[in-house]
Every structure is written in C-alpha cells, then in structure tokens.
Amino acid sequence: MKQFTSVKDVENVTELVKEARALKNNPYADKTLGENKTLGVIFLNPSLRTRLSTQKAAMNLGMNVMVMNIDKEGWALETRDGVVMNGTTVEHIREAARVFGQYCDILAIRSFPGLKNREEDYNEEIFNKFIQFSGVPVVSLESATLHPLQSFADLITIEEHKKVQKPRVVLTWAPHVKPLPQSVPNAFAEWMCQAQKEGLIEFIITHPEGYELAEQFTEGATIIHNQDEALKGADFIYPKSWSSYHDYGKILHNGKGWMLNLERLKITNQAKVLHCLPVRRDLELGSDILDSTESLVVEEAGNRVWAAQTVLKRILENI
Amino acid sequence: MKQFTSVKDVENVTELVKEARALKNNPYADKTLGENKTLGVIFLNPSLRTRLSTQKAAMNLGMNVMVMNIDKEGWALETRDGVVMNGTTVEHIREAARVFGQYCDILAIRSFPGLKNREEDYNEEIFNKFIQFSGVPVVSLESATLHPLQSFADLITIEEHKKVQKPRVVLTWAPHVKPLPQSVPNAFAEWMCQAQKEGLIEFIITHPEGYELAEQFTEGATIIHNQDEALKGADFIYPKSWSSYHDYGKILHNGKGWMLNLERLKITNQAKVLHCLPVRRDLELGSDILDSTESLVVEEAGNRVWAAQTVLKRILENI
Amino acid sequence: MKQFTSVKDVENVTELVKEARALKNNPYADKTLGENKTLGVIFLNPSLRTRLSTQKAAMNLGMNVMVMNIDKEGWALETRDGVVMNGTTVEHIREAARVFGQYCDILAIRSFPGLKNREEDYNEEIFNKFIQFSGVPVVSLESATLHPLQSFADLITIEEHKKVQKPRVVLTWAPHVKPLPQSVPNAFAEWMCQAQKEGLIEFIITHPEGYELAEQFTEGATIIHNQDEALKGADFIYPKSWSSYHDYGKILHNGKGWMLNLERLKITNQAKVLHCLPVRRDLELGSDILDSTESLVVEEAGNRVWAAQTVLKRILENI
C-alpha cells in the first residue's frame, strides 16, 4: 500500500478485514517493523478517537509518533498558489508539506471541508497538496470528502458481530443542529458498496429527499426514501447526520421522525447500531439505544486501532 | 491497587512511602512492567508539574503515554444525563469515558471543581463517571475535592527531611486574590490524619474562622485559629490558600497577617516549608522563604514522579 | 558541551559540522546514549520545524521527550523579581525553571523577544533565568537574540552543497509586513563570521541603511548597502527580514527592490538560496526561486535534525 485515502487504495476489503482481525489477536507481532520510523500526525481540525487510536496503532508497530495540532500549535497555512503572502497566512502548504516529509516516514492528516464551496472541497485540494509535496505516504484521518479509517473500522465491527452470512446494512440519515460534512457517509457508502461487491453484505441507504450523496460513492447501493421500509430486516444500522450535497452544505429537513430509538428498532432483525462518534444523545440517536447492548459504538471505536495498525503495517512493508 | 483517588485507596501510607523511596533510588527497576501498556493522561484543566511528573513516571515503568488536553484539543463534554444534546456540548462523558477505556490500560484524569455548587463538586460527578464508564483503573491528577498524588509526594518529602521521629506538621491557610479549590488542603489533611494515625507525624491545621474544611477529611487533626500558636514548634509548614467550604467558594478574609516569611518562621522549630506550586510570591508566601534553604518546594515537586510511579506500579501489578 | 545558546558554546564549527554529517549518515548509532534520559522541550512561542526536528533528534538518541507549550498548555510566568504576584501571572520563572530541572536531564527552550525594550531583549533575561535556576544543560530553540540551531543547520547545508572550497555567502535583508526579531540574522552572522575565521567561507551582509545588526555578531563580515553589488559572485544567499536594531523593533524601509527572484539571481555565481522558514512567498522571497532547484530551504529544514542531534549528543556525553 502506498497511501490510504479511499477504499480505492485497497485491493480487497475482505482480505484487509481478515488482516485487521489477526492483528487484533496479536497486537505486538510486528513491533520491530516500525523501529526508527516516524509517523507524523497532523491535525488541521480537532480529534479524540482518531488521534488516540492512530497513536496507539503506531506504537504497537514500534514507530515513533509526533503529533502536531497545526490549528493550535502552528500557524495559518496558505493553500492557494500565486498569491503575495502579505496577509494572515504565515507559511505555504508547499513548504510545510515538504518539511513534514523531511521529518516523517509516513504522514497521517486530518483536514475538514469548509462546506461553502463544493468544488473546492470535493477537489480535496489541501489533501492532494500534502500528497503531492510531502514526498512520503499519506494516510487520511478524514479529509473533506472521506473518512476511510472509520469505514474500515466499521466493516471490521460488522464482520465481528454478524450472525448471518450476508447481513443487511442500512445507512440512515439522522437529525443534527449543525450542517455536518458528508465525509463519514461518503466513505461508509464507498466501503459498503465494495463489501457488497465482494459478497460480504447487502447495502441500503435511506434519507429524506434532497440528501442524496455524490453518486461516485453510492454505486450499487439501494436507496430508499422511506426509513421504515429501509429498516425492515436490517442487521446493522448506521445512523449519521450529513448536510446536503446537492444544495451544498445546507440543512434541508427539520429531522422530525428520523431519530432512532429502541422502539423504532423493533422493525429490524434485532439490528446492532453503529456510529462513528461523537454522537449527540437524543438528537442524532436515542440514548436508550446507546445504553443498550444493541449499541456497538464503543467496540467500533476500539476497532479504530486495528484499522489504523493494518494500514500503517501495509505501508511500512512497502517503504 | 485498583484505583487511586484518595488515601482510602491505600492500605498503609507508611509502606507506600517506603516503596516510593525505594523506587527513587532505583527508578528503572520495573521498566518491563509497563511494556505494551498505555497510560491515557486526560486534562480538563491545565497542568505543568502533574503532566510532566506523571508522564515521566509512566516512561520509567516502560509504559506508552498519550496525553489529551480535552479542554484545548478536544471538545466540550456533556456530563448530565437525560438531556437532549442540541446545545454546545459535542460528546457525552458516557461515550468519551468508554472510548478512552478502549485505548488505555490506565487513565489518569484532572478535573477541577466549578466552585459554584458544593453538592455537585463534592459528589465528584465527572470523576465518578469516568470511573464508572471507562472500565479501567483511574488515577486522580486532582479532582474537584482531592489531589492525592500531591499529598503522597508531600508525605515522601516530609519523611525524607524529618529530623525528629514524629515531626509536627502544620497546614496553614494563606491569602490569594482568587478563590481556590479545597482539593489540595482536603487531600493534605486526609493524608496527614492517616499518617498521624500510623504514628508518623503530629498534625495541626490553622486558618481564620469560616475556613473550616469538610470534616470528613480532618478527623483527628488539631484545629487552631491563632496562627502564631499553631506555628510554635512546627517542623514542617504547608501554607496554602483555599476558598470557604461552608460559604462555598467564597473568600472571607483579606489575608492580612496570614502570609508567612522568614521572620514569622522564627517561632517554629526551624521548620521546613512545603507548597504544591504554583505559588504567588509575596502574596501566598514570602519570596525570602522560597529563595532560602527553608523551602522544600522544588524537592517536593520532584517527588511527584516517585508518587506517581509507585501508584502506577501498584496498579500495573494488579492488571 | 554544557549548554548551547550561541556559537560561543562551540570550540570549532568545522569539527561540529563534520560530526553532524557523520550522524546524518548513521542516525541510530548512539541510540543507547540517551536511554533513560529525558529532554524537556519548552515553547513560550509557537514552532513547527523546531519542535519536530528536536523531538526527532532526541528520539534518534533514544531519549524520552516531553513537550510543553507553556503559552497554551500552561499559564503566564512571572519573570520580574521583587513583585507581589497579585496580577495575572500564576507562577514565577524561578520555581518553574527549578521544577523543569527536576524532571528533565536537558531543557530545550524557545522564547521570542518582545521587540519593545531592546535592553531587556538583549539581556536575554528569560533565557538566562532558565539557565540559572533549572540546574540542567539548556539548549536554545531560539531566544530573544539568537537562533543557533538554525545557523548550525545552515552551515551544514552550505558545506554539503558548496562547489568551491571557500564559497561566498551573502546574508541579505528582505521585506516583510511585520517587524521580525533579529535572532535569525544575528545567529547566522555570528556563525558565518566564525566559519569565515576557520576558513570555510567568505561572508557578506547587505541591507538598507538603518538595518545594521548589533556589532557583537557581525565582527569580520563585509557590509555592503548596495544589494546588487553584494550579490555579485555569490554562491549562497540567505534572504531574511528583520526589524531595526538601532531604531529598535521598527520597520524602516518599504522593501521595494529588495525581494529576490530568479531574474535577480543571474548576477550571482549560480547561487543556491537558503531560508530558515516559514517564508512568505512573493513578499520575502520569490516563489519562482522556492519552486526551483536553486532553493535549498527544504534540505536545510531537514538538516535541523542533525544539528539538534549533534548538540544533544555532545551534551549527553558530558552529563
């Protein structure tokens, strides 16, 4: 593996999940692989699970880790070319990325979308510039449009907890007070479509009209606008809020009726519930679910370690 | 040891101090004990000594350390149950604590009191929720009401520097411009009462009327309101400011006459002076004392490492 | 080596550069030297290259590293003596420095000048107090007046890339929108004057009138106010903005005509261009240079690791 920014960087997700589950059973088997190798973990936006799970994964592999919260510890980066830098930005991403590449063998980067300009966000400018200029393998810790380590951990969790050979997995839109990025649902859709192609699951998406995700990520998914219908017979449910892709960055629906609770789960096949966290209780998802054995959100967060460790291991083997 | 939040988690402080002093003489003897174990150090409030000494203690034991300044790097945690999270809090402590427990073998946490609502602070809600939900051993790096690692380091320092078998130790209130928590004096009182019970010291508290600490922490202490009388014959003095417990969180006294300097020490038995730091010079404590050999504050800060290392070692032996 | 705050702490820069280049070829040769030794890295101002390169250097030597961003994670330090601390400062540098010395075997510190009071800045009060009170070796990560690790990395880069035995090195003032410290040009001048004395280079400084650096750092340098004349035949150029030393902290010149681009380089001897970074593109330095093979700024940033590692190694050998 040479970089990890999307499911497209993976040949076969079935094999990848198998490797992750093997690592989970034997976390320190590759502790010499990362010796004298440095992972740079760069946050342009805040993080909790992602930072800790990535740091732990790297330490399990014997790597050194350097964390840099650029938004707080560093300074404003200029990302546009051809501007005279006489304003508030202090350093250009061209220099910053190249310099990170001098100190680190692998870079892991988080950079959220602005949600103002769809083209800019979906071009993944900042991310692609880090890839272009740093000269070292780059791992996405959530970009403007995708959060692949999360989706990988989601798939590990589904594989661990499935009771039928080909479970029905439902991604459902959920309410929120803020317009959120599409990165988590985009990546989840992309990974589940691939998992469906490999015969691991059956994949359904449900959301109010107007919340259609970009088609490049949902090819092969069944899209149903009636949530009840979509939930029928579900084995796993992934509730997640996102803002509109088509009316970019907007909230189009007041959310009424779309939040799940234990009562609403009765229609499913004793479905287990996933969420990437953080989750706003009783707004995005019923607290009765989160406090029940139906919820897998904590195990799922735990699996972020094995997702990150598998990716770092594959990249280290290629350096 | 299964957790460390109070002197009550310790069977015998005499033995604990002996173990700490042995570790101080041989810091790296247990370097394999913490191998592949991760300490999560979580700050909801700022720290200097506590962060560095805890981090160093963990590294001496061979542990991995992940530090998270939630107040700055993370986001606002919701601690109340039963609220619809449609405001400014982004994640509930139930999820956050459980997730930390996924990544860490031991959690060390700092969480200050609000000083508005005594019942809330003295219930140690935030702390107890971390213990309840994380599922791993929790070490207090100062809670709303106690700072036990500080008191443990204080007792190590007293044992190292005592010239008589059973020294007289005096906790004295000191002036300050801000209302401060009772956590340091509460914990110091609790530890010194226990040390007195084990025959290590004699313990006296002095403060202006109205500054009585909660009785649960001072049982067995002699309380004297006349500072001069209390200081007579003292071997160790611990000046510290705190706000009122009874008129909760208030400053009741302008501080006049309560700040110690070298002149005031003449009444003592050549007493050594302790302080948890940070200390405001010439407001809380005379700079002439801090710059003299009477002050043990630096050695005391150094002993924070051995206090933390002893606690982590005992917990690691129990995992 | 007992401290590293200036070229004066170095006996012979030729030997120092040789050692750094040997380390660069064999980075992990001294990995046991730093075992169980702790480097405290203290920032009173933000950092990117300096933090990462110093951390990496220490890890290459097997040291533990603890980073403290005092400006963000800690609290305001009092540096003046004899004041009653009843204002906004929470801890005195006397206590803070002594405590750092308890936890760390070496301290590396960054502390920028205020640029208001020249005497205060050039007395290096904060820095000298850390040295005086910490009781452990101190490494400068940029003080009020000098940035010696940068200059050491600059000299390594010059030695690596020189095509003639004694290249002509030109430090040239550059425009900026903000008044910047003199620390980088002061240190560069000090190191280049020493390198000239040892026969490694020929050293020229050019700047508009009024931008004369303090003479203590420029002894032996040729100072030319006409930039074109200074650039003629140059092998290495170091463009850098600084505020006036004589009219302290002021911007005296609008910068017109002083920014270098590829066109301006034609007058040189195919000069390579250095810069400490961060650099403001097309304000301080032409982006055409930064994107060309004439620029060595990325390699130079990479060499910060070997500069730091050499210094830490020499200090460790002396502890």
The SS3 call for residue C228 is: helix
Reduce the DSSP state of residue C2 to 3 states and report it.
coil
Q: pLDDT tens digit string along B267-286?
A: 999 999 999 999 999 999 99
User: What percent of chain B lies above the pLDDT cut of 70?
Assistant: 99
Cβ contact A92–C281 (<8 Å): yes
Q: Are B262 and B288 in contact (CB under 8 A)?
A: yes
Which of chain C's residues have a Cβ under 8 Å away from the Cβ of A43? none
* C48 annotated ligand-binding residue: yes
Q: What is the dihedral of CA A198, A204, A207, A209, to 10 degrees?
A: 90
pLDDT at C70: 82
Q: Report the alpha-carbon distance of residue A279 to residue A292 in Å, rounded.
A: 15
Closest-CA distance, C86 to chain B, in angstroms, reads 6
- Can you give the pLDDT at residue A73? 66
Model ipTM over 0.90: yes
Asked if the B148-301 domain carries CATH number 3.10.20.90, the reply is no
* pLDDT tens, position by position, B250-263: 999 999 999 999 99
Residue with tokens 């093979």: C293
Residue B127, pLDDT score? 92
Is C94 marked as binding a ligand? Answer: no
Decide yes or no: CATH 3.40.50.1370 for domain B7-146+304-316. yes
**What local confidence, expressed as pLDDT, does residue A132 receive?**
96
Question: Mean pLDDT in chain B?
Answer: 96
Question: What are C145-173's pLDDT values in tens digits?
Answer: 999 999 999 999 999 999 999 999 999 99
Give pLDDT, residue A76.
Answer: 85
The single-letter DSSP state of residue B38 is E
Binding-site residues on chain B for chain C (CB distance < 8 A): 27-28, 46-49, 51-53, 55-56, 59-60, 69, 72, 177, 277-283, 287, 290-291, 297-299, 301-302, 305
* pLDDT over 70 (residue B57): yes
Alpha-carbon gap: C30 to the closest alpha carbon of chain B (Å): 20
The answer to whether the annotation marks B104 as part of a ligand binding site is no
Q: Would the CB atoms of C85 and B282 count as touching at under 8 Å?
A: yes
pLDDT (tens digit per residue) in B198-247? 999 999 999 999 999 999 999 999 999 999 999 999 999 999 999 999 99
- Residues C5-47 have pLDDT tens digits of 999 999 999 999 999 999 999 999 999 999 999 999 999 888 8
Determine the Cα–Cα distance for residues A131 and C119; give it in Å rounded to an integer.
46
Q: Write down the pLDDT at residue C75.
A: 76
Q: What band does B73 get if pLDDT is binned at 50, 70 and 90?
A: low
Band (pLDDT 50/70/90 cuts) for residue B69 is confident
* pLDDT tops 90 at residue B72: no
| Least confident span in A301-315, B17-31, B287-301, C67-81 | C67-81
pLDDT at residue B74, rounded to an integer? 67
Q: pLDDT per position in chain A (319 positions), as tens?
A: 999 999 999 999 999 999 999 999 999 999 999 999 999 999 988 888 999 999 999 999 999 999 998 877 667 899 999 999 999 999 999 999 999 999 999 999 999 999 999 999 999 998 999 999 999 999 999 999 999 999 999 999 999 999 999 999 999 999 999 999 999 999 999 999 999 999 999 999 999 999 999 999 999 999 999 999 999 999 999 999 999 999 999 999 999 999 999 999 999 999 999 999 999 999 999 999 999 999 999 999 999 999 999 999 999 999 9
State whether C52 and A40 contact (CB < 8 Å): yes
In this prediction, residue B283 carries a pLDDT of 97
Chains that touch A (3 or more CB pairs under 8 A): B, C
B281 interaction partners in chain C (CB closer than 8 Å):
78, 83-85, 92
Interface partners of chain C (CB pairs < 8 Å, 3 or more) are A, B
To the question of whether residue A283 is assigned a binding role by annotation, the answer is no
Every domain of chain C with CATH number 3.40.50.1370 lies at 7-146+304-316, 150-301
Query: Does C141 carry a binding-site annotation?
Result: no
What is the CATH topology of the domain spanning A150-301? Rossmann fold (3.40.50)
Q: What is the mean pLDDT of residues C267-281?
A: 97
Q: What's the confidence (pLDDT) of residue B78?
A: 92
- Report, as an integer, the average pLDDT of B19-45: 96
- Count the neighbouring beta carbons within 10 Å of the beta carbon of residue B54: 27
Contact call for C102 and B305, based on CB within 8 A: yes
Q: Tokens for B45, please give them.
A: 């409030």
Residue extent(s) of CATH 3.40.50.1370 domains in chain B: 7-146+304-316, 148-301
Q: Which residues of A touch B86 (CB under 8 A)?
A: 177, 280, 283
Question: What per-residue confidence (pLDDT) applies to B156?
Answer: 98
Q: Which of B38, B83, B94 sits opposite A56 (nearest CB)?
A: B38
Proportion of chain C above pLDDT 70, given as a percent:
99
Q: Residue C60's pLDDT band (boundaries 50, 70, 90)? A: very high
Q: What is the DSSP string of chain A?
A: ---BSSGGG-S-HHHHHHHHHHHHHSTTTTTTTTTT-EEEEEESS--SHHHHHHHHHHHHTT-EEEEEEHHHHS-PEE--SS----SS--EEHHHHHHHHHHH-SEEEEE----SS-HHHHHTTHHHHHHHHHH-S-EEES--SS--HHHHHHHHHHHHHH-SSSS-EEEEEE---SS---SHHHHHHHHHHHHHHHTTS-EEEEE--TT-PPPHHHHTT-EEES-HHHHHTT-SEEEEE----TTTTT------TT--B-HHHHTTSSS-EE---S---BTTTB-HHHHTSTTB-HHHHHHTHHHHHHHHHHHHHTT-
Instruction: Tell me how close the Cα of A296 comes to any Cα of chain C, in angstroms.
Output: 34
